[in-house]
Amino acid sequence: MDRATAIRMRPKILMNRPASLTSRPVAAPRSDLPQEALRSCRSAFLAVALFSAAVNVLMLAGSIYMLQVYDRVLPSRSVPTLVALSLAIVALYLLLGLFDGLRQRIMVRIGVALDQALAAPVLKAVLRAPLRGRSAEGLQLSRDLDTVRGFLSGLGPTTLFDLPWMPLYVAACFLLHPLLGWTLVGGALILTGLTVATELATRGPTRDAARGASSRAALLETGRRNAEVVAALGMEDRVVRRFGEANAGYAAANLRASDVASSLGTASKTVRFILQSALLGVGAWLVIQNEASHGVMIAASIISSRALAPVELAIASWRPFLAARQAWQRLGQGLPPVDIDRPVAPDAAQRRLTVEHLVVVPPGAPAPVLQGISFALAGGDGLAIIGPSASGKSTLARALVGVWPAAKGEVRLDGATLEQWPAETRGAMIGYLPQDIQLFDGTVAENIARFEPRASEQAVIAAARAAGAYDMILGLPNGFGTPVGEAGGALSGGQRQRVALARALYKDPFLVVLDEPNSNLDAEGDAALTEAVRGIRARGGIVIVVAHRPSALTGVDLVLALAGGQVQSFGPKDDVLRKALAGAPKPAAQPAAAPRLATVDGKA
């Protein structure tokens, strides 16, 4: 059987296979990465708890000091006793300050440790979010991690560690006199009720404020990325108006949360002042009744102040606590699950590409764009994908390299699905040039090497030569060391396209997918692209070119025509183009002009 006959039979064999394929799950399971990171800090939290216990016990030193001064020093007028008590209280306060500082430093380091543990998963989620049509959600996760770290670095967590020690101070008041203890209990119950009210009243506004902040950030990022369009089309005032609407919603939710928190915080402070004075009054009454000493009255006031201070601080810190808790929940829901270990990965692909009954639904789309796509390519094949606009060409390109997952069907390299390789291994086998070219802020060499940590100069130069971009790069101010700027803004459109082509060819990947690779190229760039396509085929790789311009077809031998998300024809280039031209309506006589690429529906 000759090669042409085998190529004609290939799509028929695949199209006649049964489509017994199941849909892939859409929702990812809740990630346990945050909980694992938190569990790794258990020893640090235990140290904070121990230091908090010491701090709260030492906090009783002040009241005991005042009790001894009023009940022993003043009646006896003993200066040595006063000096000894004063030295002891200074030593205890120094120790208290040491323990308090240590627990605060540990909390800051817990925040840093969680940030380091979750930074990489959060970045992965940010990078994957646009592939699911959820860019704003990915950016929100980054802000959520900052929120959690900021909360752990503040006074809120240590206040929560102090709250369980309130019974100690209540018990101390009961030891002084039961009436003082019950007075403190009544005030504590009132403040606890205010804390619960704060939780219930601020939960909704805080959640709305977080959503508003996410919407604002998404609008800002969109405006920044489209600054040229906004300026050229006079859209600045309209963009500002849309941002103002989103900002108004955020400000309203933030205002509601602030009003509730400040009102309850003021109420708790007022209750604490009243309670402290009430304890002084009760103590004074007990002194009048000869049931307590002057020292007991002062000590009870100091103990009550310390007992209720954590409650007041907790109410003041409730908004940050609530925001951190909601951020932590979103991290658990938005982070990717732990990567599944692959003890045995397939060998690097080097023989064939098989697409079987492929169905692709773009992120956020209500219906599939591609349905029932089936074809196969062998090493050395070059395929051009043609078709009218919105026929699914770029969608197919994204599915072939694993950017968009298949809803049904499979993409296989040497018989293995793309998911069977780890991401880095799979990426090394694939070269991809997207239609919308984006370079990273770095040098030309770093972009070509895909920011590989220890990239060899020989591999970078080989990729540049394979793309026909070597001489062009040498003509840049610093050659391969030229910074490309943010998104490649320091280069022209054609230069960015040729550098991105070199990046796609780095280390000779087996499968190379080029989406509109010549859209910004001149005649010299077109010739270099043709040579690059031929070079891929000559070394046994597979190259797929999404084409609108006829010059992109020069180096390929196969053509796949798409229309309406389905394969119209597939086979040798001359046969498919002949069918496409035969089915196209004859145009009216026109002056001689550059040839245009006809497609299956007659549109150029």
Q: What is the pLDDT of residues 315-357, one digit of tens each?
A: 777 777 877 888 888 888 777 665 555 557 788 888 899 999 9
For residue 70, what is the DSSP state?
A: I
Strand order in the sheet with 566-572: 430-433, 511-515, 542-546, 382-386, 558-563, 566-572
pLDDT(6) > 50: no
pLDDT tens sequence across 434-452: 888 888 888 999 999 988 8
At residue 249, the 3 state secondary structure works out as: helix
Q: Are strands 542-546 and 558-563 parallel, antiparallel or unpaired?
A: unpaired
3-class DSSP string for 342-361: CCCCCCCCCCEEEEEEEEEC
Average pLDDT of the chain is: 79
Report the alpha-carbon distance of residue 478 to residue 507 in Å, rounded. Answer: 23
Residue 295 CA from chain centroid, whole number: 58
pLDDT tens, position by position, 488-512: 677 888 888 889 999 999 999 999 9
Tell me the β-bridge partners of 562: 567
Separation between Cα atoms, residue 515 and residue 545, nearest integer Å: 6
User: Where in the sequence of the chain do the CATH 1.20.1560.10 domains occur?
Assistant: 33-205+254-334
Cβ of 190: how many Cβ atoms within 10 Å?
18
What are the phi and psi torsion angles at 33 (to 5°)? -60, -45
Place of tokens 């989620």: 125
Residue 61 has pLDDT above 90, yes or no: no
Q: Please tell me what DSSP assigns to residue 590.
A: -
Query: Residue holding tokens 């895909």?
Result: 450
Q: How far apart are CA 549 and CA 572, in angstroms?
A: 18
pLDDT of amino acid 564: 87
Query: Taking 70 as the threshold, does the pLDDT of residue 19 lie above it?
Result: no
- Binned at pLDDT 50, 70 and 90, residue 10 comes out as very low
Tens-digit pLDDT profile for residues 375-404:
999 999 999 998 888 888 889 998 998 888
Q: Is the pLDDT of residue 20 over 60?
A: no
Assign domain 377-402+422-583 to its CATH architecture. Answer: 3-Layer(aba) Sandwich (3.40)
Residue 263 phi, psi (nearest 5): -65, -45
Confidence label for 137 from pLDDT (cuts 50, 70 and 90)? low
Digit-coded pLDDT (tens) for 138-192: 677 878 888 888 888 877 788 888 878 888 888 888 888 888 888 888 887 887 7
Strands across the sheet containing 408-413: 370-378, 352-360, 408-413, 416-417
Q: What stretch(es) of the chain map to CATH 3.40.50.300?
A: 377-402+422-583
What stretches of 226-379 show up as alpha helix (H) in DSSP?
Answer: 227-232, 236-288, 294-316, 318-334
From 220, 174, 294, 466, select the one nearest 458 (Cα to Cα).
466
Measured from the Cβ of residue 304, the count of other Cβ atoms closer than 10 Å reads 28
Mapping DSSP to helix (H, G, I), strand (E, B) and coil, where does residue 47 land? helix
Asked if 249 and 212 touch (Cβ cutoff 8 Å), the reply is yes
The reported pLDDT for the residue numbered 604 is: 34
What span, in angstroms and rounded, lies between the C-alpha atoms of 388 and 392? Answer: 9
The angle, 0 to 180 degrees and rounded to 10, between the axes of the packed helices 135-152 and 318-334 is: 130
Determine whether domain 33-205+254-334 maps to CATH 1.20.1560.10.
yes
